Amino acid sequence: MGDSCLPRSRRHSDDDSWSAVHHCGITARGARLVAVSPQIPDESLTLAEKHALAFAVLSDIGSDVAKQYGLAFDLPDDLAAVHDRPGFGLQRVNDGHPRTLPLPAIYVIDRSGTARWAFVDTDYTTPASGWHGSGACARLVPSTSSQRHGTPGCSRVTSEFGHPVQSPQAACVAVRPCGAAARRPAPYANRCRTCAFPVPQCRRGRTGRWRPAGPDGDRAAACRVLGAGTSMCAPTRCATGSGPCLRARQQCVPCLPEGLVVPEPLDAVTPAAAGTSASSAEMTAPPTVGVEEEFVLADRHSRAAVFRAPSVVGAARARLGAPHATAEVSQAQVETVSGVCRTAEDLVAEIVRLRGGAARAAAEYDCLLVPSGSAILGRPGPPPVADKARYRAFVRRFGPLVQDQGVNACHVHVGVADREEAVRAVNHLRGWMPLLLALTGNSPYSDGTDTGYASWRSMVWGRWPLAGPPPRLRGAAHFDQVVGHLVASGAAMDPAMVYWHVRPSPHLPTVEVRVADVLPDPAATTAYALLVRALVSCAVDAVRTGEPAPDVPDLLLRAACWQAARYGANGTLPATHSRDCAPTAVGRLVEELWKRVESYLGRYGDDRWVGDWLSEVQHRGTGSVRQRLVAEQHGGRLQAVVDELAVPPA
């Protein structure tokens, strides 16, 4: 069963058959679980380590064994183009075989090598009917008579159209001619707004369930579905043309009620854990990652910003836990704080949980939770400021600068234990901040007006004395010295008020990237956070290898950030990650960023998440572009924009 064939929505989730396989107590019944993947051994090993799999993941390079068993198919040209996008990396992970993939299949094989249960379906979102893990293992007893589908000895087999195969001959192998209209899942470019899992066409994703797009036309590749009663030993075809030759490879046996023999072809599969030398980097767990998201509260009726944060935050803390919901400077804001995560699946689940819980708390007080960098309608304040001594001190010291600071960002923390490395890594990261801002602008409107900016939030937040790009720092001692002088000058009340776009966290062993607007949906937030993690990892490695950081002038960085806030992903930006800083199209900068972090994304299993998001930004635009499009589609009614963005309560 090749895990690389499954969409991320079907991997390791609590409600599907794969989770049942993992937890059903197969081992307790003396059975062994083995997975087969078309990926190279290093990728299979990385997959097993990342998900802490307790079973072996074997590598079938080129799907050679799957081809012998009739389980392989070649992607047609249109789907191959999708899989060639940045983020899939099939050329690399499948060792130069990007077009050939195996069908997901499950076989239960007894100790004599006889398969007693099988399930194959070309629609990989279909769960295995009747699969109950240890129950299937318990039924491993020889059948005494020829049996048809639905009886204990011969399991249900589906055709490529998803219908049960009724004839006993077809129980052995179902073959459709080339050109048959096979039901294959459509490529997914979007993700569900609620659960953030891939969907072919996102219908606002309210149910949180992945659904295939339905028939998508003729495909050139034939699709063979092997079921119980079919030999898996013979690479040659049967003389009758109905399937592979069985047993002695001499005669075709239509149905073997006692099962099928699974001999030497599995010997061609290379165990990932045997004889594989992985680099120390590959053996290292991904750095931790966490996300802080800020939201504006909008009245459910008027959609204007409303000052109900004290009540909403209290209700959110009761639902989510006190550390996970907090007030911000404005009483029209709510902030959620994720737990520490390592995998994309953990992170997106946490973001969905926090957003849904906070939205439910907001609904209790007749509010909408809106992920927009600025309040689309109404003025979010302050005043009034949240009831905290720190925020009251803001008003006394900074006066009118505090007004209208109810803007909403997304902060990403990436674990870096060594503080010296964290400070020096910031020197490598600072040049990428304009591009990250350009990709995440999500605040074109303020108080009912189109500002003309992609990120009006960054303009409002930039009023603070120490907001913006960080200076180049020589190390941790220099950082402490600079921050100490800034606090002593009165420009910052404390080190936490050094609001640089990227900084070593003042209270956590992390590098904190603070440049982005809050993003529209969980999938975008997750992908952005994973991109930041890869970029931080790359920067830390650059520090360790002695790679010099570009010495970009502070004023040029600030100017580039203004361009990013003004125009978003349209137009050009100075290439501040390099030494020449030449004006460069944003699309070209994204390509250079991808080359910089691709190996890290692949190592952590994050390339598809990030690739999907970058492709979506390229084709659908940033959050600011999409807000304006919704307004245009509704005759300029900004209430529709609020409704489109509002987080569904969990």
Q: Which helix (H) or strand (E) holds 504?
A: strand 502-504
Question: Between these two residues, 85 and 255, which has the higher pLDDT value?
Answer: 85
CA distances from 30 to 27, 132, 224 (A): 5, 16, 31
> How many Å apart are CA 339 and CA 291, to the nearest integer?
8
Residue 30 in this model has a pLDDT that exceeds 80: no
How large is the average pLDDT for residues 222-242? 31
Question: Between these two residues, 49 and 157, which has the higher pLDDT value?
Answer: 49
Q: Report phi then psi at 502, rounded to 5.
A: -145, 140
Beta-sheet strands, E only, within 236-304: 270-271, 289-299
497-541 pLDDT per residue, tens = 999 999 999 889 999 999 999 999 999 999 999 999 999 999 999
How large is the average pLDDT for residues 635-644? 97
Residue 312 in this model has a pLDDT that exceeds 80: yes
> How many Å apart are CA 97 and CA 552, to the nearest integer?
42
> How many Å apart are CA 594 and CA 597, to the nearest integer?
5
* pTM for this model (two decimals): 0.61
Q: b/e map of 110-129 (b: 16 or more CB within 10 Å)?
A: beeebbbbbbbbbbbbbebe
Q: How far is CA 637 from the centre of its chain?
A: 32
pLDDT for the residue numbered 154: 32
Residue 643 in this model has a pLDDT that exceeds 50: yes
Residue 121 in this model has a pLDDT that exceeds 50: yes
pLDDT for the residue numbered 443: 98
Question: Between these two residues, 342 and 131, which has the higher pLDDT value?
Answer: 342
Three-state SS string over 606-629 comes to CHHHHHHHHHHHHHHCCHHHHHHH
Question: Between these two residues, 108 and 271, which has the higher pLDDT value?
Answer: 108
Q: How far is CA 50 from the centre of its chain?
A: 14
| Percentage of the chain lying above the pLDDT 90 cut | 50
The contacts of residue 274 (CB under 8 Å, 6+ apart) are none
Extract the tokens encoding 218: 């003729």
Residue 296 in this model has a pLDDT that exceeds 90: yes
Whether 338 and 292 have beta carbons less than 8 Å apart is answered as yes
CA distances from 431 to 427, 445, 455, 561 (A): 8, 27, 18, 10
DSSP state at residue 550: P
Question: What is the amino acid identity at position 500?
Answer: W
pLDDT for the residue numbered 84: 60
- Ranges 143-147, 231-235, 308-312, 494-498, most confident: 308-312
SS3 state at 426:
helix
* Residue 44: pLDDT band with limits 50, 70, 90: low
SS3 state at 160:
coil
Neighbours of 324 (CB within 10 A): 19
Task: Give residue for tokens 């063979």.
Answer: 224
Residue 545 in this model has a pLDDT that exceeds 50: yes
36-50, 181-195, 356-370, 389-403: which has the minimum mean pLDDT? Answer: 181-195
Question: Between these two residues, 10 and 578, which has the higher pLDDT value?
Answer: 578
pLDDT for the residue numbered 539: 98
SS3 state at 638:
helix
How large is the average pLDDT for residues 333-344? 96
pLDDT for the residue numbered 458: 97
Q: Report phi then psi at 265, rounded to 5.
A: -55, -30
137-146, 297-306, 432-441, 633-642: which has the minimum mean pLDDT? Answer: 137-146
CA distances from 446 to 442, 456, 457, 601, 645 (A): 11, 8, 9, 35, 15
- Ranges 22-31, 63-72, 120-129, 601-610, most confident: 601-610
Residue 200 in this model has a pLDDT that exceeds 60: no
Neighbours of 501 (CB within 10 A): 25
Question: Between these two residues, 112 and 9, which has the higher pLDDT value?
Answer: 112
Mean pLDDT in the chain?
74
pLDDT for the residue numbered 112: 66
405-433 pLDDT per residue, tens = 899 999 999 999 999 999 999 999 999 99
* Residue 151: pLDDT band with limits 50, 70, 90: very low
> How many Å apart are CA 32 and CA 51, to the nearest integer?
18
Burial of residue 22, with CB atoms counted within 10 A of its CB: 0-12 exposed, 13-18 middle, 19 or more buried = middle
Answer whether the bond into residue 98 is a cis peptide, omega within 30°: no
Q: Could you tell me which of 424, 331, 347 has the C-alpha nearest to residue 383?
A: 331
* Residue 42: pLDDT band with limits 50, 70, 90: low
> How many Å apart are CA 288 and CA 83, to the nearest integer?
28
pLDDT for the residue numbered 510: 96
Extract the tokens encoding 336: 């959620």
Tell whether the torsion through CA atoms of 15, 19, 23 and 26 is positive or negative. Answer: positive
pLDDT for the residue numbered 463: 93
Please list the alpha-helical segments (H only) found in 462-606.
476-489, 522-545, 554-567, 586-604
Neighbours of 422 (CB within 10 A): 25
The contacts of residue 563 (CB under 8 Å, 6+ apart) are 434, 438, 571, 572, 573, 574
pLDDT for the residue numbered 105: 82
